[in-house]
Amino acid sequence: MIESADEFARLCRSPDPGERRRAAVDEASEQVWMDVVHRYPDERVGVVQNKTVPLAVLEVLIGDPDPRVRHMVAMKRKLTPSLLERLARDPDEGIRMRVALHRNTPRAMLESLRKDPWHQIRATVEDRLGS
């Protein structure tokens, strides 16, 4: 278990592949994750990549100013429809595309993405829904 934000940052930056793997798979408390988010902005992608990160932390990271972080959030399998809905309104078309491709995106949300400004998202939605 990861006990602190400092430990997580050290694991992420370690040259040891075993330690970097711990950063990706070991659990931490929600408080530790939130501490990482606030104290180590450069490690936010690492937080999202962790297999055990709670939905409450992902919900915070949906609003991250870095589109790379939001893109990684959009790729998480455990996203709920309400989180996907927020991501479907993201200004970054790559993030909206991830929502269009996400297996948990409800049909009604896909229907709304049929009107997306980016033609590739509309085409993806048409493929998923069938014309």
Query: Cα(76)–Cα(99) distance, rounded to whole angstroms?
Result: 10
pTM over 0.85, yes/no: yes
pLDDT of residue 131: 58
For the stretch 15-57, pLDDT in tens is 999 999 999 999 999 999 999 999 999 999 999 999 999 999 9
User: What gap in Å lies between CA 52 and CA 44, rounded to an integer?
Assistant: 14
Dump pLDDT digits (tens) for 70-117: 999 999 999 999 999 999 999 999 999 999 999 999 999 999 999 999
48's CB contacts (< 8 A; 6+ apart) are 58, 61, 69, 72, 73, 76
User: Which residues are 60's β-sheet partners?
Assistant: none
Q: How many CB atoms lie within 10 A of CB 130?
A: 5
* Residue 106 CB neighbour total at 10 angstroms: 12
CB within 8 Å of 125: residues ≥ 6 apart: 100, 110, 111, 113, 114, 116
Give Cα separations from 77 to 29, 53, 87 (angstroms).
Answer: 20, 12, 14
